Amino acid sequence: ETGSITAALSRLGVDDYVRRWTRIRGRIAEPAECHRLELATGATVLIAEALNDDAGGTPLHVSSTRFAADRIEIVVNAEP
């Protein structure tokens, strides 16, 4: 409805949250993923799973996303 996780959580009274972890892995796409992502059989997908915590460290939101591996670039920046 909001088009934004942050906006949706805000509607529920969550003022802030932090990413606890993100896990990224690759594997051969399943048939349904090939269909939905318009991939050839045998194509690779990247799966990004993440967990967000509220300000007190309580798990709040989990996500799992699939990407066509040959259509994405992931950049990870480490900030101090």
CB atoms near residue 67 (< 10 Å): 17
Q: What is the pLDDT along the chain (80 residues), one digit of tens a residue?
A: 889 989 999 999 998 999 999 999 999 999 999 999 999 999 999 999 999 999 899 999 999 999 999 999 988 888 77
CB atoms near residue 32 (< 10 Å): 9
Report residue 45 as tokens.
Answer: 């997908």
Question: pTM value?
Answer: 0.79
Q: Where are the alpha helices (DSSP H) in 1-80?
A: 5-11, 31-37
Q: Where are the domains of the chain?
A: 17-71
What are the φ/ψ torsions at residue 75 (nearest 5 degrees)?
-115, 125
